[in-house]
Amino acid sequence: MLLTSEQTANPMRINNPYKLTFSSLLELPFDSWDLSEFSGTKLWMRHQSLNLSALHRKLFKCRLDRDKLAAVVADISGHFGLVFQGGDEAFAASDACNTALILFGYDGQSKQHYFGQSGAAIVDQLELTDRDTSSIGALSIALSGYTIGTNTLYESVRALAPGTLIYLKHGQTPTECSTHQFRPWEAQPLKWDRLKSELSEELRAMFERLIQSAAGRPIVVPLSAGLDSRVLVAGLKEFGYKNVKCFAYGLSGNHEALASKRIAEALGYSWEFVPYTNQRQKAVYQSEEHREYVTFADTLTGVHFEQEFLALRELRETGWLEGDAIILNGQSGDFISGNHIPTKFFTASTDDVQERKRLIVNELIERHFKLWRSVATEDSHSLVAERLTRELGQFDPFPDDPSLDYGLYEWSEFKDRQSKYVVQNVRLYEFFKFDWRMPLWDREFMDFWAKAPLSAKKNQALYRETLRDLDWGGVWHSVPVNLRNIRPMWIRPLRLALKALHAPVGKQKWHQFERRYLTYWTNNLCSTAHIPYARITRDTRGAWGAVSWWTEKYLARRGLSLETVLERSATQ
């Protein structure tokens, strides 16, 4: 459904009128997308099953009526990104969760605008250097791994927000409108039995769409010990889809893999395990192929998603992962069903709007903006808080009911962390040239959870109860959910002894010690193998985890050190 102007975010304004010209860059970032040409216009698009020619003609017919154009885009189902060019006009659109994150660059000297999906191509075309970076964009990435709002690492480049259409015409200022918005602050007080019934129906409809889209092709699922990938394989079993394989990865004997194997065997699906070690990961991180992936995945909005690279490469090389396979990803049922809501929102806060905004912003900062203790200064957090508060300023007037503020928190995390980092995991599948599906981010599923009340989302109560009661595949009672263990085995007694020694100084000191000295060995993904262990233990800047080190490397590739980021932010 098309949203009214009162429901949309403020349009991005560029004051200078410009001469609309497009270089070959337009084709460069979209060379893996489908291309349709019709009546002197071009449509680049990424979509799993849409009739591109029919859509192109429909967009061409209504291209001069922006309301009709937005309505056509809003009616597109599934995950997609599109760019249309014709004569003196162009437009681009993103899907509801930004699986095809589109960048929008502006060259102030030539007054040219560029669409692209490749951050590297945009940077090269605009000849950007570290002096062109955004101080708040760099600071946000250093602290969290991603930017805030439509900001990117560079002042002259913006990212389309989820569910956004941007329209450009010669001599006019670019305008934006929303074609879909995740709106969890508008939850409805629905009764429990109705919610369970509707969730069950939403799940059935989701699998109907998935199975129709897959059309008998092999479906491969990275299967863990949690709820999300489990519901995918169990649902495929329930609805009779037979061409399914599963895999797991990580340290040998890890809890995710043990549960994954039990689930796959119970469902009668083939299962494969890819062992991770620091040595194997180090070799991967030093490879040219991995460097190419990091460049390929760069959206200028944050660090790449890493964890399945080794597994996919090995399964491809051995032939276990077939070329026509569809990778079925379980993200992000954990988030959308309520598991990321801070406990402070379980009770209503004050009616004071400024205090409500402060609580939302503080929770976001406390949970996500802490990758480097040396960067997480009071001044840095103040700058981030100012920018996050500005994003909340899109709500004018601010929603009346403070008991729904958890939905504003979810909205903020969704448009930044989820859409720019977690969802961009699909870039990894595209790098290896595999098709993919992410049904738990279907627009219809998002809309259901947007209307679910806090009682349904608290501790994922509705999601957990519904899945257990449905008991698809018979894997919801016999195999524990996320029953964690510590690997490798040799470190267990040492860890217990060290933890006991830290008892007098408290949990915070213990966790800092553990992250600095033990996580290198116990991290299931061996994600810090690209950093020498001695360097990690000597470092005093307070890295939070593996993403901290990847973020430092990401900024360094763009000519920025953590110290430089901090210095430049101080001059704001």
Flag whether pLDDT at 8 surpasses 60.
no
Rounded to the nearest 5°, which phi and psi values hold at 351?
A: -80, -10
The pLDDT value recorded for residue 213 is 94
Predicted pLDDT of residue 48: 75
Continuous segment of H or E residues that includes residue 2: none
Peptide bond between residue 332 and the one before it cis (omega within 30 degrees of 0) = yes
pLDDT at 292 over 50: yes
The whole-angstrom distance between residue 299's C-alpha and the CA centroid of its chain comes to: 12
Residue identified by tokens 């609805």 is: 239
Beta-strand runs (E) in 95-227 = 103-107, 112-116, 157-159, 164-169, 175-178, 219-222
8 Å CB contact between 452 and 460: no
CB-CB contact of 29 with 19 (8 Å):
no
Q: Which two tokens stand for residue 74?
A: 């809003």
- Residue written as tokens 């590739």? 557
Instruction: Name the one residue in this structure whose structure tokens are 């009546």.
Output: 39
Residue 348 confidence (pLDDT): 76
For residue 324, the tally of other CB atoms under 10 A from its CB is: 8
Predicted confidence at residue 150, as pLDDT, reads 95
How do strand 435-437 and strand 244-250 relate by DSSP bridges? unpaired
Contacts for 25-28: CB closer than 8 Å, 24+ residues apart? 25/114, 25/116, 25/121, 25/122, 25/125, 26/83, 26/85, 26/114, 26/115, 26/116, 28/116, 28/118, 28/121
From 108-112, 466-470, 519-523, the region with the lowest mean pLDDT: 108-112
CB 158 within 8 A of CB 102: no
Q: Do 107 and 21 meet the contact criterion of CB atoms below 8 Å apart?
A: no
Express each pLDDT in 487-500 by its tens digit. 999 999 999 999 99
pLDDT at position 31 is: 62
Tell whether the model's pLDDT for residue 396 goes beyond 90: no
Identify the band that residue 349 occupies on the pLDDT scale cut at 50, 70 and 90.
confident
What are 528-555's pLDDT values in tens digits? 999 999 999 999 999 999 999 999 999 9
Instruction: Read off the pLDDT of each residue in 86-95 and give the average, rounded to a whole number.
Output: 89
pLDDT at 49: 75
Give the model's confidence band at 483: pLDDT under 50 very low, under 70 low, under 90 confident, else very high: confident
Q: Write out the E strands in 24-174.
A: 34-38, 41-47, 80-86, 89-94, 103-107, 112-116, 157-159, 164-169
